[in-house]
Chains A and B, each alone.
Chain A
Amino acid sequence: MMKSLVITLNGDDRSGIVESLSKIIVQHQGEWVESRMANLSGKFAGILLAKLPEENCDTFKATLKASLQDLNITIESADSSKAQNQQQCYKLNLVGQDRPGIIHRISSLLVKNGATVEDLESEVIDASMSGEQLFKANITLCLAEGYTIEALGEALEQLANELIVDIELG
């Protein structure tokens, strides 16, 4: 049985939060279902719906709290409302086929290319006509000095055949 967990996180912003989070989810055979993440004046807040095998939930909770000690974390097993906020740098739209771990791969790539996630909205929907599972994400991100959006775009496009990336200047 998969269990749905709503995880909220907040604390001082730093790079790599999304990456650690997604990594831990993947490590526990979980799925990143839907999320809203935002940064407001140096504070990071995120709410995330994840699905995990019931038997992994306890170790997941423990690992998460241990690895992200600098954040306040709550984990509840219920549906919850969504919050959203925006601060603009670049806008990145991703469409691809959904598969386990996709957001983890994307977020680690973002980190590697000097991007911090300011805002991330993602969803999984049934694609028109073919009915395949689509992963869609709208990401607002800022780039650290010395990194270019072209390089990031290319790196993302390289990620896999099934990913299509659009970049807009925010």
Chain B
Amino acid sequence: MSNTRLSFEQLQNSDRFQDRHIGPDSKEQQAMLELLGLDSLQALIDKVVPESIRRQDVMAIDEGLTEQQSLRALKAMASRNRLLKSCIGMGYYNTFTPPTIQRNILENPAWYTAYTPYQAEISQGRMEAMLNFQTMVAELSGLQLANASMLDEATACAEAMTLCQRMSKSKGKIFFVADDCHPQNIDVVKTRAETLDIRIVTGNPLTDLNDLDIFGVLLQYPGSTGEIRDYRALCELAHEKKALVAVAADLLSLTLLTPPGEFGADVAVGNTQRFGVPLGYGGPHAAYMATRDEYKRSMPGRLIGLSIDSHGNPAYRLALQTREQHIRREKATSNICTAQALLAVMASMYAVYHGPAGLKKIAQRVQLSTAILAHGLELSGFSVLTQNYFDTITLDVSGEAEQYINRAVASGYNLRKLNADQISIALDETISTQDIEILWQVFAGDDCGLSVAELENEVNPQIPEALQRSSVYLTHPVFNTHHSETELMRYMRHLADKDLALDRAMIPLGSCTMKLNAVAELMPVSWPEFGGMHPYAPLDQAQGYAQLIEELEQLLCAATGYDAVSLQPNSGAQGEYAGLLAIRAYHESRNEGHRDVCLIPASAHGTNPASAQMAGMKVVVVSTDQHGNISLPDLKARLEKHGDQLSAIMITYPSTHGVFEASVVEVCELVHQYGGQVYIDGANMNAMVGICSPGKFGGDVSHLNLHKTFAIPHGGGGPGVGPIGVVEHLKPFLPGYSVFKNGPQHVGPVSGAPWGSAGVLPISWAYIKMMGREGLIQATQVAILNANYLAHRLKAYFPVLYSDPNGMVAHECILDLRPIKEQTGISVDDIAKRLIDYGFHAPTMSFPVPGTLMIEPTESESKQEIDRFCDAMIAIKKEIDSVQSGVMDKTDNPLKNAPHTVDAVTADEWGHSYSRSLAAYPVASLRAAKYWSPVGRVDNVYGDKNLVCSCPAISEYETA
């Protein structure tokens, strides 16, 4: 320890955040560099990152803040948000997040640091919660099958439209959208329709449908301004025309109303935000989609299903994966990948906590408060235009809307102005007696003298007989047992304990960047100043958010070299789609709208071709050479052939093969020569921040995954944020805003909320500000160091599939397991599942190359943890060798039987040809700390053959 005297100032800022975020300290870094034969991080970068793309300018980001400084700065920003009570509605409502759910789910790393449950065995807890979500949605909507989850209600409406088109037998090209849908739903549907040659007609579905050649209809239930209508006859009419009916429905209202599935709808979508998820200025929230059993294979997004494990016990898994972009690419049902898992879990727990009776009471409370409010206003001479309502009424204020809106704001309430004559008021579970009385005063004057206590008995809120719900819902025990906080706390703990998340061990998933999500980054998300803001609150009330958004946009521009950023897309895949829309609109603006070919390397992530298809482009595949790089001869041939039609190329950099391709500049130049635009998939940005800038070495547009590079946690499959950065000439073509018309004008919105999942943006802001320029650069360097160290340690045991001419990889590496499969019959799956016995989450399986594992350690993992992982992989290789040499049986070995459960290892019968201790404790350290897989290997085939996607009856657990 040095004795140099530090100044008070130095001592105050001595706790550098970067030293907390970056795993290996300088001694560990030195040791790793030495193994690679290098003497500094700079030497490493010089060796790995091609000179031609290296950043020449200084990244315009300040030196890092301490955690306390960052929290203070964010608090100051938060306090610039003026939090009024918003009664705006439009799919977003105030809600009480049960504190136990806030603390035990939203703020619990066991839930928020988990990954998408591709590894079924270590994801049983979160999959149970998500199955609860599916059950809740399916039963409340009256349809058979629901997914978990959609990005927001508006995109869910757009997905419902394409589902209707795929499934309807009508040849019509028209999708009819009821004019009382939420405006953002209409806007996003229109954006989506434009590139798919679908014509949108809006109007009154009860009168305007007759002569149209439609394939589908979208309704809002209850309508945006509050009216509840009976759509039975309409559904029949639509079905006569062979069209399908999609309904955007408010889940809470469905506890009282006839659900869409019972009045004839084919698809239901909606937001589940009001089930205990904070508003967050528009997101993240889980939206839902439910449909009929017969359309299940056309359902977008993740679906949790029940299967059995190797012991015949019930176990959850992701069902019907063959629908998804990983497999079907441009033929996928949708490009949705990262969704809103954490928020779906929260919403499901809200239902578990309240139960069917509790939810119904909440709905009754909301409805009664609305009826009382309406009655008082009518007594005061206002005419309430809404005849049948649940939580929203519309008033006629003849020309004085502006004046009442302003009076309401002065009293602390935001109402929705429909036009100069009409105002809508939407109530929610947080509305108190006092709120209602103040709202009366806003309209009827301070001395109107109305009192809830007096008026309450005069109202009798009624839903028309034909629309009253008679069917039961949420009868499963899970919704009827955990109502005390003790029970719910233990239930949530019980589920979390089954899972393996970043709070237990490194998650070395290639292409996913499972880095630290520091608590100092996350804490502000729970602050009411950020959490309580309605997405359509007047902009002058959201000045804190405006500052946050503007600063984050600038920081991301600095980090990527782009000139402008849109934070609207809710996921990486949505960013791809938005980026391609920008390219398309750019070509159109230059009278080159015929350009519609999108070149995509064979190794691209499945969302790339899926997004291209959604953006109305034709996918042409470019092959890669034996080193995994884009084949220049093939690229040139494609450019020759499609040059006139060329719209864009989508490349990933560093490539999905985990290598910095030296030819990237040439690739970009070639594409530009042929008039194409370059889309650089920024999923691998973690290898570039501060060292090279996609916006400067040839990219025209990129998405970033803030849930990878910029520290937003994965949440078990979302939330994500997929902002796009663009160079100057594409700036006018960023997505427009719904509701606020002050955004860019050429492309429609891609999400309902203007700034997408704004509620989690403080995380990325804090990450960048606390790391600072130097910290960010070092993070990139160490991410590359960790990957190369790991590749170096493992290459003697498993061949590293691709590396650059110096034998180096970027921030991840691919291990080729195909030779092992050929020689021993041990598969990728066997190795992945055996890693669970060693306490690890498997690396990415078979992407981008089947039969491989892709490993990305990230900068946050220490040498010690990486060594522990390497030791496990090496021990597994020795097991494989024993199989090969015949010491272990070819089929009865610890790899084929992995993972081993406590049950299996402690059973009185142990029929295996290897020992129990080898099964459970292959390395000694596991005796001190052991993660036990709660189930044996999950049977994929059984699950899809016997599809069950809602909570099974208890008897099912017993007999399976």
- Chain B: interface secondary structure? helix
On chain B, the residues within 8 Å of A162 by CB distance are: 320, 322, 941, 944-945
Q: Is the Cβ of B323 less than 8 Å from the Cβ of A164?
A: yes
B554 near A: Cβ within 8 Å? Answer: no
Count residues on chain A whose CB falls below 8 Å from chain B CBs. 23
Cβ distance A162 to chain B, nearest Cβ, rounded Å: 4
Q: Which of B171-179, B774-782, B844-852 contacts A (4 or more CB under 8 A)?
A: B844-852
| Residues of A close to B323: CB separation below 8 A | 164
Tell me how far the C-beta of A133 lies from the nearest C-beta in chain B, rounded to whole angstroms.
Answer: 8
Contact mask A124-163 → B, CB, 8 Å, 1/0?
0111111111100000000000000000000001001111
Number of interface residues of B (CB under 8 A): 29
Q: Are A96 and B322 in contact (CB under 8 A)?
A: yes
CB contacts under 8 Å to A, within B318-369, are 318, 320-323, 326-328, 331
Does A166 make an interface contact (CB < 8 A)?
A: yes
**Contacts A161-B945, A162-B320; A128 near B326 (Cβ below 8 A):** yes
Which of A125, A131, A163 is B829 in contact with, Cβ under 8 Å? A131
CB <8 Å contact, B331 and A131? no
* Residue of chain B at shortest CB distance from A99: B941
| Distance (whole angstroms) from the CB of A95 to the closest CB of chain B | 5
Interface centre among A130, A134, A163 (most CB of B within 10 A): A130
Q: Quick check: is B827 within 8 A (CB to CB) of the other chain? A: yes
Is the pair B850, A97 in contact by a Cβ cutoff of 8 Å?
Answer: no
Residues of B within 8 A of A166 (CB): 331
By the criterion CB–CB under 8 Å, are A127 and B326 in contact? yes
CB distance from B310 to the nearest CB of A (A): 14
Which B residues are in CB contact (< 8 Å) with A132?
Answer: 321, 940
The answer to whether B696 has its CB under 8 Å from any CB of chain A is: no
CA distance A105 to B240 in the complex (A): 35
A108→B846 CA distance, assembly (Å): 31
A130–B828 alpha-carbon span in the complex (Å)? 11
Within 8 A of B (CB), among A96-110: 96-99
**How far, in angstroms, from A160 to B941 measured CA to CA in the complex?**
11
Known interface pairs A95-B328, A162-B320, A166-B331; A126-B845 also in contact (CB < 8 Å): yes
Give the distance in Å from the alpha carbon of A99 to the alpha carbon of B296 in the complex: 21
User: Which A residues lie within 8 Å of B850 (CB)?
Assistant: 125-128
- B561 shortest CB reach to chain A, Å: 30
B944, closest chain A residue (CB): A162
Q: Is the CB of B327 within 8 A of A128?
A: yes
Q: Is B491 an interface residue (CB 8 A)?
A: no
Q: Roughly how many angstroms separate A123 CA and B356 CA in the complex, as a whole number?
A: 48
Cα A162 to Cα B940 with chains together (Å): 10
Contacts of B322 in A (CB 8 A): 95-97, 127, 134, 162-164
Closest approach, in angstroms, between the C-beta of A110 and any C-beta of chain B? 20
Interface residues as binary, B821-853 with A (CB distance below 8 Å gives 1, 0 otherwise): 000000111001000000000001111101100
**With A126-B846, A128-B326 in contact, do A160 and B945 touch (Cβ < 8 Å)?**
yes
Q: Are A128 and B297 in touch, CB under 8 angstroms?
A: no
Q: Which residue of A lies closest to B842 (CB)?
A: A131
Q: Is B234 an interface residue (CB 8 A)?
A: no
CB of B253, distance to nearest CB on chain A (Å): 32
Do A127 and B327 touch across chains, with their CB atoms under 8 A apart? yes
Residue of B nearest to A95 (CB): B322
Are A129 and B944 touching (Cβ within 8 A)? no
User: Are A161 and B847 in contact (CB-based, < 8 A)?
Assistant: no
Nearest residue (CB) in A for B938 is A132
A129 vs B322: C-alpha distance when bound (angstroms): 11
Check B300 for interface membership: any CB of A closer than 8 A: no
Binary flags per residue of A75-117, CB closer than 8 Å to B gives 1, else 0 = 0000000000000000001011111000000000000000000
Which residues from B are CB-within-8-Å of A129?
118, 321, 326, 844-847
Q: Give the residues in chain A near B848, CB-CB below 8 Å.
A: 128
CB <8 Å contact, B851 and A164: no
Q: How distant is the Cα of A129 from the Cα of B848 in the complex, in angstroms?
A: 9
Q: Which residues of B contact A130 (CB under 8 A)?
A: 118, 318, 321, 326, 845, 940
User: Are B846 and A128 in contact, CB atoms less than 8 angstroms apart?
Assistant: yes
Which residues of chain A have C-beta atoms less than 8 A from B945's C-beta? 160-162
Min distance, Cβ B265 to any Cβ of chain A, angstroms: 22
* CA of A51 to CA of B736, assembled, Å: 57
Q: In the complex, which of the residues B118, B296, B844, B941 has the most CB atoms of chain A within 10 Å of its own CB atom?
A: B941
Q: Does B606 contact A (CB under 8 A)?
A: yes
CB-defined contacts of B828 to chain A, threshold 8 Å: 126, 131
Nearest CB in chain B: distance from A164 CB, A: 5
Chain B residues contacting A160 (CB-CB under 8 Å) are 944-945
Q: Is the CB of B606 within 8 A of A128?
A: yes
Instruction: Report the nearest A residue to B848, measured CB to CB.
Output: A128
Considering the chains assembled together, what is the distance between the CA atoms of A98 and B944 in angstroms? 11
B488 at the interface (CB under 8 A from A): no
From A98, A99, A134, A164, give the contact of B297 (CB < 8 A).
A164
Q: How far is the CA of A96 from the CA of B832 in the complex (A)?
A: 22
Whether B467 is near chain A, meaning CB under 8 Å from some CB there, is: no
A160 to B118, CA, bound (A): 22
Considering the chains assembled together, what is the distance between the CA atoms of A99 and B832 in angstroms? Answer: 21
Q: With a CB–CB cut-off of 8 A, which chain A residues contact B844?
A: 129
A127 and B846: CB pair below 8 A? yes
Residue of A nearest to B940 (CB): A132
Complex CA distance for A162 and B847, rounded to whole angstroms: 21
B845–A97 CB distance below 8 A: no
Evaluate contact between A134 and B327: CB separation under 8 angstroms.
yes
Tell me which residues across on chain A come within 8 A of B296, comparing CB atoms: 161
Residues of A within 8 A of B923 (CB): none
Docked pose: A126 CA to B944 CA in angstroms: 17
Mind listing 6 A-B residue pairs with CB under 8 Å?
A95-B327, A130-B326, A132-B940, A161-B945, A162-B945, A164-B323
Q: Taking beta carbons and an 8 Å cutoff, which residues of B are in contact with A?
A: 118, 296-297, 318, 320-323, 326-328, 331, 606, 827-829, 832, 844-848, 850-851, 940-941, 944-945, 947
Q: Which 8 A-B pairs have the closest CB atoms?
A: A131-B845, A162-B944, A128-B326, A126-B846, A128-B847, A132-B940, A125-B850, A126-B850
